[in-house]
Chain A
Amino acid sequence: MGDLGFIAPEIILLIGGLFVFCLDVAYDPGVGKKSGLSYMALSALFLSAALIAAVLQLDIEEPHVAFSMMTVDRFGSFIKVTIFSGMILTAIAGGRYINRRSGNQGEFWTFFLMVSLAMSIAVSANNLVLVYLAIEFLSITSYMLAGFLRENRRSNEAGLKYFLYGSIASAVMLYGISLLYGATGSLYLNDIAAAFAEIIGDAQEISGLAFAALPAMLLILAGLGFKASLAPFYQWAPDTYDGSPTPVATYLSTASKAAAFAVLARFFVVGMASFEVNWAPVLAAFSIITMTMGNLAALRQNNVKRMLAYSSVAQAGYILMGLVAVTSVSPSAMDGLNGVLLYLFAYLFTNVGAFLVVMALEEAVNSTDISAYQGLIKRAPWLAAMFTVFLLSLTGIPVTGGFFGKFYVFGAAIQRQYFWLAAIGMINAGIAAFYYLRVIQAMFFTQDDEAETLDVPMALQTSLLICTIATIWVGVYPSAVLDWVSDASVQLLTVVP
């Protein structure tokens, strides 16, 4: 059973989830008593173990297929490292938030570990049924978490909305998968790719059963686009992010999105390699619509949490730009896939940080409105400074990770001569600056001398500091991350038939 070692991150998370669950059932702290932060600490420990296991797989020599359905490669490991880091930071920061609002600690952290497990499987899956199951697993646990604050109507709404949209998206995706199975007789991405390559042959013309791939790609894009909150499948996102508990919104807008992009990348780059000329323009159109819609909607928000929700829709548009410009022929330094990975890495730390600031203010003054941020520089100078770093990173200003992310995806677009796509991205960067700066303006430009200093919990501060350091580190010295990134994308691209 040599394969077990290769799925160590998943096994650790599964054991962790079950352990927390059993502990919750077996150990009753008594009526009215809260179990404190011990469940959170336990979850963070399991996540850290999974992180270490994923880090060890970062320099795996050859892609390894474990149990025939999971491909363990550098690409998946890099995404897993990114996702687990985000989940750990969220867990540490969000422990107190959840502890104060809900009595069902064990339940929450069980789901939290299960969500991580689901993402981890989705990232590695090379079989479409496993992809579907992982995505469903991720969705169902996420519905639970989004609606976790049962007393809170907004949280209920968040969970329900996510559930209703999500079920339809899954059904649509499943239909797409069945089309592909019908056309090629296989559910494995590599076999599908090989089958289509054979059908299309050297003629480079789509004929016969290959036509089935076109609707199938659109249907699967709809299902995954829902997870990645691409326009026009993003309508659930603002309400869900806004209503769900902030730690849940944090991972929904970061880790969960990273997982969705990893699946998208694997599906299109590996499975649909023969149809690149067909899907690249479609993805380009989605990219443009997504970033434009997200930005325009974000402009009008006065609630910072909601603004970040729309902003994360817009950011998905930029990330998609990298996927459009993937060069499957000969990977170069500025390949689109590198752009996707670097962007995801930088974006994860940045956006987790931004949501944690929202959480800090929600904890302190119980408001997410922009007015709560007035004069924050006086009340919590370091919080304001760190939020500024995150907002500048989201805008794409050096020396933050967000800058190099944008640099790479714009670069990839220019390299593939998508000048119009890059130009629209450029205009969008200008629009986006406006709403990010509004928050900075509120924090810095006015100050009230009477204001009291804010109390920010130590755990939250630690998480924020790590996010800030990571964001600036990628912005100042991206070289270290770039090595992982390019190894990861080279390994994904080499399996393309």
Chain B
Amino acid sequence: MGKTIAEKVLSSHSELDCSAGEIVIASVDFCMSQDGTSTMMIRELESLGFKSPKTTNGMTMVIDHNSPCPSVDVAKIHTRMRDFARANSIPLFDVGEGICHQLVPESGKVLPGDLVVGADSHTCTYGALNACSTGLGSTDVAAAAFTGKLWFKVPDTYSVIVNGKMPRRVGAKDLMLSVIGSVTADGATYKSVEFSGEAIDASSMDGRFTMANMAVEMGAKFCPFAFDSKTASWLSARGLGKGANVSCDPDAICEKKYDFDASDIVPKVAKPHAVDNVVDASTLKGTKIQQAFLGTCTNGRYSDLEAAARILKGKHINAGVRLIVAPASRAVLVEAIDGGVYAALLKAGATFVAPGCGPCVGTHAGIPGDGENVISTANRNFKGRMGNNKDVGIYLASPETVAASSLTGEITDPREVKE
């Protein structure tokens, strides 16, 4: 019987021939934590007498959620992370370097076929690189770092097939919002979601990162994409090896199949306060916005900034809108400066904040006012998510839709804006 990518990766890491539903103890290749989750992990590791990580390729910690530090309380947390990293020779990405889910792949810590865990729910992002990666609590990640392994339930797989060609100004974010709208916020709980089809073959690596990133918003555990020439080029451009690329067998058992036609996808928006509350952007015409946010582990990459700049270049955002941009990493920011994207956005009225999570989690760098609406490229729009729960509405959309909306001051289908 054939196997899914999840079954193959968990089989190779547990040295068992395992199938969906089984519980296995598997070796873990890499683990990570960020400044919102590290202190609990550190406490558990210290209680166990931790010396160094037993995971195959080690671990890292990233200061990205509250970066640069906004308060004395957070400074204590950051200092604790730096002290622990120094004492145990653990690589740490400090203030200004960027978001964990951009830095971990950029630094070559995840390769195809790897099994990776992180104390951040969007760790599923690395699925774009043909890896099985998933978010866990701090205690699970501490256990993985301490023992080099962890228990896993081998997940069933949902196959999502996307054929056809994506229309102009419609991208991976619109496709993923469509999928989440159909599957719902818990429709893929504990599943591995595998995308395939013409539109997936045609999608960029950045698009795949966007999609894998949001898999957890429908409850998924893994979201491994197939290895192809784009994966190989992405890795070789960064001087990285090919890893052990893994494919889904044609006769593997997938619990459910979903079919989407890419040519039917239009710009989408997830309305407050749920990620599966998805509608066409055009239906929200007239909904005023006071803040627009471009960034995050979902859409803070160079191609996202570039897509927004194409719409905003030579124009100026609406007088009633604040546009905040947080590049996903320093490398992304440098590329944006070199390519003219930074200047285009700045001249259009954008405010850049440091590479990192920016205002996504509501601790600093753009907390909305009472009663305001925000259009954002992030992955979550829960009530209070951006730090204010007083009638604040967060609308999730693509970089193109966020750029178009910041021009008009209301939610706008980007196909209506001329370049």
Q: Do A and B make up one complex?
A: no
Q: Which residues of B contact A (CB under 8 A)?
A: none
Q: Which residues of A contact B (CB under 8 A)?
A: none
